[in-house]
């Protein structure tokens, strides 16, 4: 199966690129251009690449552009994607750090749904915000929110996590109720992988798995550990693994990553990556015995 | 579950009379951040809020101000070449941004969260060691600019950020500074 990752890199001078990429230690090369692996979409891409290699499958392709927050890069990428949707013959697409824009989101979603073979659709970060705001969240196969973003999905009027009402900061203990509320208002994808102190795997509104161990508190402040989780689930789905098993295995692998790397809160994602193949191997064995 | 539904469906008291608040609309969140800063520096009381549903497009916010100060507001904005797209009366439909913080001590490190953004500082040398959370494309850029710098030397996120996530990071940054005063 082939997969496409769509997102941005934090550089204003990075031109649109669509194609295969490689990862070497702390850097990636995408069609001749170099990108450092820190957090955001590069962290997702690097994780998916290393995990795909460990799984013995072809790594994903990437469609990326530079955007430092003005949204210009995101809009140029949206336009290019809408004009080139016929290039998507992938089994799935993971959308990531992109400026939330409902109009462009809808054009892309409708275009993808008109393809002869609709790919599996995964959304995280800014594109997940746009998907929820559009009212078409339930057209997606997987969202990967953290606890705060879960509260945002549950609040039917919030246009962004910044405006989530009332229960913010207590949401870790309220995840099951927030999941119910998000599904009741059709503001969730068909599956959710909610990342937090406890990770939840949700299928059609029903919690099918909860994982709290092993726990490494220093992972929470490390920027990009949510991106590694989305990268892991991307690679596992690309390997053909069933959705709920892929979510559970990805969550477990991300937790083992913390145990094996034994990080301080000052670590970066690049320092975690060398431990990823072993973490994934441990998680695959655990998932096999516990499912 | 019922209390959650109650919270989600809680209705504001009926609006009586006209609002005393106005809102400034801009084409981008970056301009909202700059306008807010300019107005605050001029001593005007303003607040950043979420726009009403019919005006939402994406990563949006508006500046709320007191309508009686509209002339002064326009003057300050004109001086800074920050004229808004539109000035409108704000009824009670502006969303309140998150205003609470959550702090966590991890050994010598302090992690502060505001809305969906977290900043982590090493208390020993006041150095920013990590930035996490968020989903808008300026977050990785802001993290690159801030991580490794001390709270005193680091650029203010509002000076570089252009989105709601960048704005939330500014709030977390301010709170980290408050909690890590040298």
As a whole number of angstroms, the distance between CA A61 and CA A68 comes to 22
Share of chain A above pLDDT 90, in %: 83
Name, in order, each residue with C-beta under 8 angstroms of A102's C-beta and a sequence gap of 6 or more: A130, A133, A134, B56, B57, B58
Using the Cα atoms of residue B108, residue B139, residue A247 and residue A28 in order, give the sign of their dihedral. Answer: negative
Using CB atoms and an 8 Å cut-off, which of residues 120-159 of chain A contact chain B?
124-130, 133, 146, 148-149, 152, 154-159
| Boundary (domain end) residue, out of B27, B56, B90 | B90
The closest CB to that of B137, out of A97, A103, A149, belongs to A97
Q: Which residue has the tokens 């969240």?
A: A137
Asked if the Cβ–Cβ distance from B139 to A97 is below 8 Å, we say yes
pLDDT at position B99, please?
63
3-state secondary structure of A240: coil
Beta strand A17-24 with A61-66 is: antiparallel
Long-range contacts of A199-206 (CB under 8 A, 24+ apart): A199/A251, A199/A254, A199/A255, A200/A175, A200/A176, A201/A244, A201/A247, A201/A248, A201/A251, A203/A243, A203/A244, A205/A179, A205/A180
Q: Which of B125, B128, B124 is nearest to B156 (CA)?
A: B128
Torsion sign, CA atoms A122, A132, B161, B152: negative
Asked if residue A58 lies in contact with residue A48, where contact means CB atoms within 8 angstroms, the answer is: no
Question: Which one of B58, B96, B132 has the shortest CB-CB distance to A130?
Answer: B58
DSSP E strand stretches across chain A: 3-9, 17-24, 27-30, 33-36, 61-66, 92-95, 120-123, 142-143, 191-194, 199-203, 206-211
Q: Which residue of A lies nearest to B50 if distances are taken between CA atoms?
A: A163
B135 and B80, same structural domain? no
Residues of A in Cβ contact (< 8 Å) with B100: 168-169
Say if residue B110 is in the same domain as residue B59.
no
Is residue B33 in some structural domain? yes
Would you state the pLDDT for residue B75? 86
Q: Can you say whether residue A239 is alpha, beta or left, with left for phi > 0 and alpha for psi between -120 and 50 degrees?
A: alpha
**Within-domain flag for B14:** no
C-alpha to C-alpha distance for A151 and A267, rounded to whole angstroms: 27
> Which residues from B are below 8 Å from A159, CB to CB?
50-51, 53, 56, 60, 95
Nearest CA of chain B to the CA of A174: how many Å?
A: 9
Q: Do B114 and B53 reside in the same domain of the chain?
A: no
Per-residue pLDDT reduced to its tens digit, B104-122: 999 999 999 988 899 999 9
A73 at interface of B, judged by CB pairs closer than 8 A: yes
E strand map for A31-181? 33-36, 61-66, 92-95, 120-123, 142-143
Q: Check whether the bond before A241 is cis (ω within 30° of 0).
A: no
Beta carbons of A163 and B95 less than 8 Å apart: yes
State the smallest CA–CA distance between residue A272 and chain B in angstroms.
14
Categorize the per-residue pLDDT at B129 as very low, low, confident or very high, splitting at 50, 70 and 90: very high
Tokens of B3: 């209390």
**Where is pLDDT greater, at A9 or B17?**
A9
B85 located within any domain: yes
Name the DSSP letter for residue B98: P
User: Which of the four pLDDT bands, split at 50, 70 and 90, describes residue A157?
Assistant: confident
Domain match, B107 and B172 both = yes
pLDDT 10s digits, B130-179 = 999 989 899 999 999 999 999 999 999 988 887 888 888 999 999 999 99
In angstroms, rounded to a whole number, what is the distance separating the alpha carbons of residues A122 and A116?
A: 18
Calpha distance A227→A46 (Å, rounded): 10
- Measured between alpha carbons, how far apart are the two ends of chain A, in Å? 23
Cβ distance of A146 and B116 shorter than 8 Å: yes
Contact A99 B163 (CB under 8 A): yes
Indicate whether B9 belongs to any domain.
no
Mean pLDDT of A206-220: 95
Report the gap between the CA of B43 and the closest CA in chain A (Å).
25
Give the global pTM. 0.85
**Any domain includes B7:** no
Distance from CA of B139 to the nearest CA of A (A): 8
What is the value of ipTM here, to two decimals?
A: 0.91
The CATH number, out of the four listed (3.40.50.1820, 3.40.1190.20, 1.20.1250.20, 3.40.190.10), of the domain defined by the range A3-290: 3.40.1190.20
B84 is in which domain, residue-wise?
19-90
pLDDT in tens, B51-108: 776 666 666 788 998 877 877 888 899 999 999 988 887 765 666 666 678 899 999 9
Asked if residue B43 has pLDDT above 80, the reply is yes
pLDDT (mean) for B45-50: 86
Q: Would you list the domain boundaries of chain A?
A: 3-290
Q: How much is the pLDDT for B93?
A: 62
Residue B30 lies in a domain: yes
| Nearest Cβ partner for B135 among A129, A154, A218 | A129
Percent with pLDDT over 70 in chain A:
96
- Which residues of chain A make contact with B134, given a CB cutoff of 8 A? 125
Which of B53, B136, B159, B167 is the best mutation test for A, with the most CBs of A within 10 A? B136
**Closest Cβ–Cβ partner in B28, B59, B116 for A149:** B116
Grade residue A15 by pLDDT with cuts at 50, 70 and 90.
very high
- Which residue, B90, B112, B142, sits at the end of a domain? B90
Domain end among B34, B56, B90 = B90
What are the phi and psi torsion angles at A36 (to 5°)? -85, 150
Q: Where are the beta strands (DSSP E) in chain B?
A: 21-25, 46-49, 62-66, 86-90, 101-106, 109-114, 117-122, 127-133
Within-domain flag for B27: yes
Residue of A nearest to B5 (CA): A181
A–B CB contacts, 8 A cutoff, strictly below: 208
- Answer yes or no: do B108 and B137 share one domain: yes
Average pLDDT, stretch A286-291? Answer: 68
Tally the domains of chain B.
2
What is the average per-residue pLDDT within B31-38?
A: 90
Distance from CA of A159 to the nearest CA of B (A): 8
pLDDT at A44 over 90: yes
Query: Could you tell me if A107 and A78 are in contact, meaning their C-beta atoms sit under 8 angstroms apart?
Result: yes
Give A62's DSSP letter.
E
> Are B162 and B126 members of one domain?
yes
Confidence of residue A268 (pLDDT cuts 50, 70, 90): very high
């Amino acid at each position: 199966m082939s997969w496409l990752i769509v997102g941005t890199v934090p550089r204003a001078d990075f031109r649109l690129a669509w194609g295969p990429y490689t990862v070497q230690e702390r850097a990636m090369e995408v069609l001749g251009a170099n990108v450092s692996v820190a957090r955001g979409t590069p962290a997702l891409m690097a994780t998916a690449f290393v995990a795909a290699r460990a799984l013995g499958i072809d790594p994903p392709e990437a469609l990326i552009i530079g955007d430092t927050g003005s949204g210009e890069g995101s809009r140029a990428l949206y336009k290019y994607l809408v004009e080139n949707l016929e290039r998507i013959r992938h089994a799935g697409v993971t959308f990531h750090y992109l400026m939330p824009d409902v109009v462009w989101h809808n054009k892309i979603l409708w275009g993808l749904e008109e393809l002869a073979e609709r790919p599996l659709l995964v959304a995280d970060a800014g594109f997940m915000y746009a998907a929820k705001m559009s009212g078409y969240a339930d057209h997606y196969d997987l969202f990967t929110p953290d606890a705060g973003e879960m509260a945002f999905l549950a609040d039917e009027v919030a246009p962004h996590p910044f405006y989530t009402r009332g229960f913010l900061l207590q949401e870790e203990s309220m995840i099951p109720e927030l999941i119910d509320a998000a599904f009741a208002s059709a503001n969730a994808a068909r599956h959710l992988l909610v990342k937090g102190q406890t990770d939840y795997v949700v299928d059609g509104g029903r919690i099918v798995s909860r994982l709290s161990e092993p726990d490494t508190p220093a992972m929470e402040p490390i920027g990009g550990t949510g991106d590694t989780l989305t990268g892991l689930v991307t690679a596992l789905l690309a390997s053909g693994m069933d959705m709920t098993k892929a979510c559970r295995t990805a969550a477990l692998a991300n937790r083992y990553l913390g145990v094996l790397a034994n990080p301080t809160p000052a670590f970066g994602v690049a320092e975690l990556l060398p431990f990823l193949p072993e973490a994934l191997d441990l998680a695959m064995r655990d998932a096999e015995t516990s499912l | 579950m019922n209390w959650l539904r109650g919270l989600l469906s809680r209705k504001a008291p009926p609006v009586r009379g006209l609002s005393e608040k106005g809102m400034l609309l801009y084409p981008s969140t970056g301009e909202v951040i700059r306008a807010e800063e300019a107005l605050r520096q001029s001593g005007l009381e303003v607040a950043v809020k979420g726009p009403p549903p019919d005006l939402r497009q994406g990563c949006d916010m508006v500046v709320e101000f007191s309508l009686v100060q509209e002339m002064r507001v326009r003057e300050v904005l004109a001086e800074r070449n920050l004229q808004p797209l539109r000035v409108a009366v704000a009824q009670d439909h502006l969303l309140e941004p998150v205003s609470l913080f959550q702090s966590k001590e991890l050994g010598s490190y302090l992690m502060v969260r505001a809305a969906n953004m977290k900043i982590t500082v090493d208390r020993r040398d006041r150095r920013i060691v990590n930035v996490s959370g968020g989903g808008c494309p300026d977050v990785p850029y802001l993290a690159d600019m801030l991580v490794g710098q001390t709270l005193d030397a680091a650029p203010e996120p509002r000076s570089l950020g252009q989105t709601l996530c960048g704005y939330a990071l500014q709030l977390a940054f301010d709170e980290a500074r408050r909690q890590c005063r040298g």
